Structure 1
Amino acid sequence: MEKVVTNRNLSILLLAIAILFPLFTDNQYVLHIFSLTFIWTIAVHGLNLIGGFTGQLSLAHAGFFGIGAYSVGLLTVKMGLNFWLALVLGLIITTAIGFVIGLVALRTKEHFFAIYTLCVGYIIYLLLYKWEELTEGVRGLIGIPVPAPIGPITFDTPRNQYYLLLFFLVLVIFLMHRIMNSIIGRTYIAIRNSEELAETIGIATMKQKMVSFVLSTFFAGLSGGLYAAFVRFIGPDISYISVTFDMLMYLIVGGMGTLSGPLIGTLLIVWLSQYLQFLQNYRMLIFGPLLTLLIIFYPRGIAGGYQMWRAKRLIKKSQQLM
């Protein structure tokens, strides 16, 4: 009980800091980077759901991110729809495509699933790159409008955009918390630990993996749609395979299969990348060894390593009391 209260108080404190932070700074660059971090964290939560909790590593995540972004971009720029309507339709399009792809992809297992989704992600990138009549190809989409006002609230300033993206991030974290602390979440973990054992105890593994996969594409599409309205220019590179590996790096550093891992890893790597911009293409000379050391000494990432340390500490205390 003490652990739950502590975690709850820490979450409330971090949320209060995030809400109050823009009131004490006029630095638009800092707000911009934090806003981007919120967007990527939403996407990484989707990758964590299918990869970290369900044990099915999808390497097409950037592709679904691109579908969400281009859906919103095309619906607003070429069809003139309201952003909120375009976002809803973009989510429907992304999850529908994710469902169709999942019907085939989830018939494969382990590394075959990863290879198949890698190919799917690359095909999505090629479609966005080559289908110039629809996507404008390498030129990309320019002039994507900011989210339409909600009553008196507008989203044309960095501060208001920050709060909008923070709202969506908190909503996604809340949904992830509810999912993973429910029977459905425990089902995903059972599939990750042993799919054969899960089947023997009556779990419809194919159905549950499909739900997890579609939910992960939903989060990817949501983050992509928000990215399009925030940056207001998108090109096919946002769906390239390297973007998926960036997300995977955020997740590995933060901790796969943990609720706080996506936020920790994304915040740390995004801000570290900003401080190392002067190295340009040589940044991986630093990230590579650091990531290798992290995987060796903390295979469950920062959040997972902390959980293991805390568990060992509690076991040691209980042994001392005995």
Structure 2
Amino acid sequence: MIAVLKQKKIAALAILFALAFPLLIPNNYYLHMMTLSFIWMIAVYGLNLLAGYTGYLSLAHAGFFAIGAYTLAILTVKAGLNFWLAFFLSCVISSFIGFLVGLVALRTKEHFFAIYTLCVGYIIYLVIDKWDNLTGGVRGFIGIPSPANIGPISFQTPVSQYYLVLFFLLLVVFVMYRIVYSLTGRTYIAIRNSEELALTIGISTMKDKLVSFVLSIFFTSLAGALYASFIRFLGPDIGYISVMFDLLIFLLVGGIGTMSGPVVGTLLMTSISQQLQFLQDYRMLIFGPILTLLVIFYPRGVVGGVIHWKTKRTENNRDSRVGKISSHSSNEKQVKEG
């Protein structure tokens, strides 16, 4: 109970800090970077739902991030739809495509699933890169509008866009929390731990995996749509493998299968990336070995490692108390017998 209260206090402090950030640090550069970090967090939460809690590592999420972004751009610029209608449709269309992909992909397991989704992600990138008439190809897509006003509320300033993205991030975290700590979340964890055992106790694993896959893509495409409206320019590189690598390293550094891992990992790695901008051309050479060492020696990530350390400390304290009680009882028995 005490641990739960501590977690709630930490979460409340983090939210308060995020709300006060534009007032504490009134710098447009840091505001821009923090807003961008929030967008990546939403995408990482989508990946975490599938990989961390259901146990299926998808390498196509960068492609679905790009689909969400480009769908919003096409619907607003070329089709002339209202921004918020286009925003909603971009997530729905991406999720529907994910549903079709999942029907085939989820019939495979483990590394076969990862390889299949990697191919799907690369095909999405090629479609975006080569379909000039629709996506602009290598020239990119320009003229994407910023979020439309909602009544008297305008989203034309960096601060207002920051709070808009923060709102969606908090909404995604809330939905993730409700999913993870529900019967649905326990079902996903059961599938992750042993799909065969989940089948034997009556869980419809294919249906639950498909729902998890579609939900994760919905979150990722939501991040893509926010990215398009925030940056207002798109290039095919946002669907490339390097973006998938970034999402994966954010998740693994923070802690896969944890609620706060995406936040910690994204903030930590984006901060390091900004400090090492002069090595941008060699980032894959730097982060590649780091990721490999992390998976081998610290697979739980930062948050997972802290949770494991606290658990071990609690167990050691409990064992020491039990040992003292046993020793005290033994001494009393010896005194009585004497």
Shorter-chain TM-score above 0.5: yes
Task: Give the superposition deviation at 1:289.
Answer: 4.0
Distance 1:194 1:291, change over 3 A: same
CA distance, structure 2, for counterparts of residue 228 and residue 15 of structure 1: 25
Query: After the TM superposition, which parts of structure 1 deviate over 6 Å for at least 4 consecutive aligned residues?
Result: none
Distance in 2 between residues matched to 1:128 and 1:251, nearest whole Å: 26
Map of 1:35 onto structure 2: 35
Could you tell me the TM-score, scaled by structure 2's length?
0.93
Partner of 1:232: 232
Q: For residues 82 and 38 of structure 2, what CA distance do their matches in structure 1 show?
A: 23
Answer yes or no: is 1:208 the counterpart of 2:208: yes
Q: Which residue of 1 aligns with 2:306?
A: 306
Question: Could you tell me which residue of structure 1 aligns to residue 109 of structure 2?
Answer: 109
Q: Which residue in 2 is equivalent to 1:69? A: 69
**1:52-201 counterparts in 2 under 5 A?**
52-201=52-201
- Find the residue that maps to 2:153 and give its secondary structure: coil
Query: Residue 272 of structure 2 aligns with which residue?
Result: 272
Letter matched to residue 174 of structure 1? F
Q: Counterparts of 1:316 and 1:171 in 2: how far apart (Å)?
A: 38
> What letter is aligned with 1:138?
V
Alignment CA distance shift 1:31-1:136 (3 Å): same
C-alpha distance in structure 1 between counterparts of 2:271 and 2:284, whole Å:
14
For each residue in 1:182-208, what CA deviation from the matched residue of structure 2 results, as whole angstroms up to 9, or x when unmatched? Answer: 000011111011100110111100000
Q: Is the aligned partner of 1:20 residue 2:57?
A: no
Cα distance in 2 between the residues matched to 1:120 and 1:64: 10
Q: Find out whether 1:282 has 2:282 as its counterpart.
A: yes
Give, in angstroms, the shift of residue 285 of structure 1.
4.3
Report the AA paired with residue 260 of structure 2.
S
**Partner Cα separation in structure 2 for residue 284 and residue 122 of structure 1:** 18
Match of 1:252 in 2: 252
Letter in 1 for 2:272: L
Q: Please state whether the residue corresponding to 1:258 is helix, strand or coil.
A: coil
- Unaligned 5+ segments in structure 1 are none
Query: 1-side partners of 2:179 and 2:295: how far apart?
Result: 27
Q: What's the offset of the Cα at 1:297?
A: 3.0
Q: Residue in 1 aligned with 2:326?
A: none
Deviations 1:52-75 (A, max 9, x none): 110111110011001100010001
Corresponding pairs, count? 322
> Partner letter of residue 145 of structure 2?
P
Aligned-partner Cα distance in 1 for 2:50–2:103: 15
More displaced 10-residue stretch of structure 1: 185-194 or 275-284: 275-284
Q: How many Å apart are 1:82 and its aligned residue?
A: 1.8
* Long gaps (5+) in structure 2: 323-338
SS at match of 1:150: coil
Distance 1:195 1:310 in 2: 29
Per-residue deviation, 1:319: 1.2
Report Cα offsets for 1:65-101 as digits up to 9, x if no partner: 0110001000111112221111111011001000011
Moved more, 211-220 or 282-291: 282-291
Aligned-partner SS, 2:122: helix
Separation of aligned partners in 1, 2:58 and 2:279: 30
Partner of 2:291: 291
Question: How far apart, CA to CA, are the structure 2 residues paired with 1:48 and 1:258?
Answer: 8
Residue type of the alignment partner of 1:182: S
Mapped to 1, the partners of 2:130 and 2:289 lie a distance apart of 36
Q: Which amino acid aligns with 2:136?
A: E
Larger Rg: 2
The alpha-carbon deviation at position 23 of structure 1 amounts to 1.1
Give the aligned residue type for 2:47.
L
Q: Deviations over 1:163-192 (max 9, x none)?
A: 111111011011111100000001111101
The range that moved more, 282-291 or 309-318, is 282-291
What whole-Å deviation, never above 9, does each CA across 1:214-257 have from its counterpart, x for those lacking one? 00110111000000000000011111111111100111101111
Q: Map Cα deviations across residues 21-55 of structure 1 (whole Å, 9 max, x no partner).
A: 10122210100000000000000001111111101
Shift of 1:133: 1.2
TM-score (norm 1): 0.98
Alpha-carbon distance between aligned partners in 2 of 1:67 and 1:280, rounded to the nearest angstrom: 26
Once residues 253 and 108 of structure 2 are traced to their aligned partners in structure 1, the CA distance between those partners, rounded to angstroms, is: 27
Counterpart code for 2:113:
F
Aligned-pair distance for 1:110? Answer: 0.9
Give the CA RMSD over aligned residues.
1.0
* Compared CA separation, residues 289 and 134, structure 1 to 2 (3 A): closer
Counterpart CA distance in 1 for 2:59 and 2:232 is: 26
The farther-off stretch of 95-104 and 23-32 is 23-32
String of CA shifts for 1:84-136, please: whole Å, max 9, x gaps. Answer: 11111101100100001100111111111111111111111111111111111
Q: Which moved more, 1:222-231 or 1:17-26?
A: 17-26
